[in-house]
Amino acid sequence: MKDRDAAERDLIRIRLAQSREELRLLLDPPPAQSNGSGAAGNNHSGFPRSRTMRMLLSSRGLGTLGALAGGLLIARPALALRLLRFIPASAVAKMLMARAVSALKGKPNHAD
């Protein structure tokens, strides 16, 4: 009877180890791969480093944040304006200018 219990426990431990490995693969970012020049290929060492901030600063994330801010402004304008005072205007302006300049640089020039 003890051999059967031990075998079942071992089977359960193997299944748990497999499920932990699957979760680790899903939740952890993939390891950085070399691109041949000695530098990591997809390394996010710059700002922002967290996956949450990268998602929020992407185009889809900014659209979502804009929709959320618009809904808050419509539903509770006093609260939205109070929260707006906490946002550093100079930092937001710099970020918007940098995005505008990079968009203009990336835009192809059509001389028609």
Q: Is the peptide bond before 48 cis (omega within 30 degrees of 0)?
A: yes
Phi and psi of 106, rounded to 5°?
Answer: -80, -15
26-60 CB burial, b ≥16 within 10 A, e <16: eeeeeeeeeeeeeeeeeeeeeeeeeeeeeeeeeee
Give the single-character DSSP code of 108: P
**Is this structure's pTM higher than 0.75?**
no
The domains of the chain are located at 2-25+50-106
Give the single-character DSSP code of 85: T
Q: Which two tokens stand for residue 74?
A: 């419509």
- CA-CA distance, 61 to 50, in Å (whole number)? 14
pLDDT (tens digit per residue) in 16-45:
999 999 888 877 766 665 455 444 445 556
pLDDT (tens digit per residue) in 47-65:
777 888 888 778 788 888 8
